[in-house]
Amino acid sequence: MGTVLGPIEHNAVGDLATGAIAIYTVDPSAAGGAGDWGFVDEVTIH
């Protein structure tokens, strides 16, 4: 499947075959108390 960020590949059971998954959390105190996303981790899938 193609996306604006590039192709997404799946294996035979539907899991991601390649790529990365980014994990974010909401930080309500960020951006002067307005709230914003906070990056936590990124996992690369091979």
Mean pLDDT across 12-32: 87
Beta strands in 1-46 (DSSP E): 2-3, 6-7, 19-27, 36-45
Determine the straight-line distance between the first and last CA of the chain, rounded to whole angstroms. Answer: 17
- Please state, in angstroms and rounded to a whole number, the distance separating the CA atoms of residues 46 and 43: 10
pLDDT at 10 over 90: no
**Local confidence band at 24 (pLDDT 50, 70, 90 cut-offs):** very high
Per-chain mean pLDDT for the chain: 84
In this prediction, residue 46 carries a pLDDT of 67
The residues with which 21 forms a beta bridge, in sequence order, are 43
In this prediction, residue 20 carries a pLDDT of 76
In this prediction, residue 45 carries a pLDDT of 72
Cβ 24 vs Cβ 37: under 8 Å:
yes
Tokens for 30?
């960020």
